[in-house]
A and B are shown apart, each in its own frame.
Chain A
Amino acid sequence: GAVVSQHPSWVICKSGTSVKIECRSLDFQATTMFWYRQFPKQSLMLMATSNEGSKATYEQGVEKDKFLINHASLTLSTLTVTSAHPEDSSFYICSATGNPNTEAFFGQGTRLTVV
């Protein structure tokens, strides 16, 4: 299958700081990337869908000013958690697809801990 690389795999930051997470498709062009958040023992909650070159579509209840998503190229999307707080601590996972009707490939996930 195709490879999606997510970086960093884990990060600890101080409350009030911002954290950027990168998601790269290594061997295919990702027209669409999805960002998910997963709390312990829960399923993946879709935060936003981003298409290359356009603004991300956020799910209801997700603050677009807090979770900044940029999808500037067909191989890279970034999620920036701004002014992070302890309640933002979670597992963040990206997935990418070149075609909405085919398998979405997942990054390794980023475990964010805000202290």
Chain B
Amino acid sequence: GQNIDQPTEMTATEGAIVQINCTYQTSGFNGLFWYQQHAGEAPTFLSYNVLDGLEEKGRFSSFLSRSKGYSYLLLKELQMKDSASYLCAVAAGNKLTFGGGTRVLVKP
């Protein structure tokens, strides 16, 4: 099975930076995804890492260290609309398993 851990909640101020960590234990690792989910909606894709290092995509960046079983999602220049849940998901074998999700609240 897989063990995927991420913080439950984080609060940050508009314009600031927030880093959401995700640790995992798995066998047959095929990559790690980050999704954003607003309440009552389906998740939307943010990033995919399969090799170690940092992937930057506009205000969002994602980092992966396979040897440490660790990833983070970095949100820069936070906007109010970034208030949402952020889901870390690990692909292993033929399966995509989600962590518990981190609710991020952006305050003015």
Q: Residues on A close to B: CB < 8 A?
A: 1, 32, 34, 36, 41-46, 49, 51, 91, 93, 95, 97, 100-109, 111
Q: Mark B70-88, 1 if CB is under 8 A from A, else 0.
A: 0000000000000001010
B93 at the interface (CB under 8 A from A): yes
**How far is the CB of B44 from the nearest CB of chain A, in Å?**
8
The one of A36, A45, A101, A105 in contact with B50, judged by C-beta atoms closer than 8 angstroms, is A101
Task: Tell me the nearest residue of chain B to A49, going by C-beta.
Answer: B95
A-B contact pairs, 12 of them (CB 8 A): A41-B103, A43-B101, A44-B87, A44-B101, A45-B98, A95-B96, A100-B91, A101-B91, A103-B45, A103-B48, A106-B43, A109-B41
Which residues of chain B are within 8 angstroms of A41 by Cβ–Cβ distance?
103
Q: Kindly state the separation between the CA atoms of A46 and B90 in the bound complex, as whole angstroms.
A: 12
Q: Mark B12-34, 1 if CB is under 8 A from A, else 0.
A: 00000000000000000011010
Known contacts A100-B93, A101-B91, A103-B45, A46 near B30 by CB under 8 Å: no
B94 at the interface (CB under 8 A from A): yes
Q: Do the beta carbons of A100 and B30 come within 8 Å of each other?
A: yes
Which residues of chain B are within 8 angstroms of A1 by Cβ–Cβ distance?
45
**How far is the CB of B59 from the nearest CB of chain A, in Å?**
19
**How far is the CB of B88 from the nearest CB of chain A, in Å?**
9
Task: Tell me the nearest residue of chain B to A40, going by C-beta.
Answer: B39
Known contacts A101-B30, A101-B50, A107 near B94 by CB under 8 Å: no
